[in-house]
Amino acid sequence: MPQRRSFVAGNWKLNGSLATNASLLEGIVAGAPWQACDVAVCPAYVHIPAAVARLSATTIGVGAQDVADVPAGAYTGEVSAAMLREAGCRYVIVGHSERRTLYGDTDAVVARKVTAATGAGLVPIVCVGETLAERDAGTTLAVVGRQLSAVIDGAGLGALSEAVIAYEPVWAIGTGRTATPDQADEVHRAIRALLARHDATMAGRLRIVYGGSVKSANAAELFARPDIDGGLIGGASLDAGEFLAICAAARRD
């Protein structure tokens, strides 16, 4: 089993201003823990250039929170993968549950966004996860399997080989209710097993991170599981001390 370097990304969502982002980034850069794993922050589109400029001398990457599923044309309001790459992004979140539920991103749209991202040289952070109703109905693994298979079928296995997968149970996002390490681990292992059926080497290398109410108080026990390779962090990523403590918990020597 290869030793995977952990990955921690902050999803800032629709938060921040140039001033608050600048002080958040100063707080993060001033700490040491981000140096021990791969770390990214994902601000709103218009805040990307300032984050790229501030972080250019560090190993912290910048990601976008979404991307157009087409390269160019008459798509008012959209931002393409090539534009994000040119702006200095290394990552892009694709298929976040808020995009799926609030903005109608279907499995097919998510697959096209993964294609667009990898085609432009971005690392997609591909989000999958079940709702509470789906978990209660016992369909968690079927739902996550469907979401992943749609990406494999639509974007190709090669597109996933450089991706990060984020398992984010919808019922745990922003609710303060985290999946237990056992619950998360079961899904992470199932995701890796599904991918291993296509390519065992790739599955062994791929980072699968957990998201959903991760904070410094619960990060260590989640990240202690061998198949949980870090986290996608919402609320707690808006606090430099919390975010750094989560990065420290993700460290693998």
Question: Footprint of ligand PGA on this chain (CB under 6 A)?
Answer: 11, 168, 173-174, 211-214, 232-236
186 is an active site residue:
no
Query: Residue 231 forms beta bridges with which residues?
Result: 8, 210
How far apart are CB 9 and ligand PGA at their closest, in Å?
Answer: 8
Q: Which is nearer to ligand PGA, 34 or 210 (CB)?
A: 210
Active-site residue, selected from the candidate residues 96, 98, 134, 242 = 96
How far apart are CB 169 and ligand PGA at their closest, in Å?
Answer: 10
Closest CA to 231 of 99, 127, 95: 127
How far apart are CB 6 and ligand PGA at their closest, in Å?
Answer: 16
Say if CB 62 and CB 52 are below 8 A apart: yes
How far apart are CB 213 and ligand PGA at their closest, in Å?
Answer: 4
130 is an active site residue:
no
Separation in Å, CA 88 to CA 53, 63, 120: 9, 9, 12
Q: Which is nearer to ligand PGA, 61 or 157 (CB)?
A: 61
For the chain, the maximum distance between any two Cα atoms, rounded to a whole number of angstroms, is 48
State how far the Cα of 63 lies from the Cα of 44, in Å rounded to an integer.
9
Structure tokens at 78: 């959209």
* CA torsion angle 85 86 89 93 (round to 10): -40
Q: Which is nearer to ligand PGA, 73 or 104 (CB)?
A: 104
Active-site residue, selected from the candidate residues 98, 134, 168, 242 = 168
Q: Which is nearer to ligand PGA, 70 or 165 (CB)?
A: 165
Residue closest to ligand PGA (Cβ) = 234
Radius of gyration of the chain (CA): 17
Could you list the active site residues?
96, 168
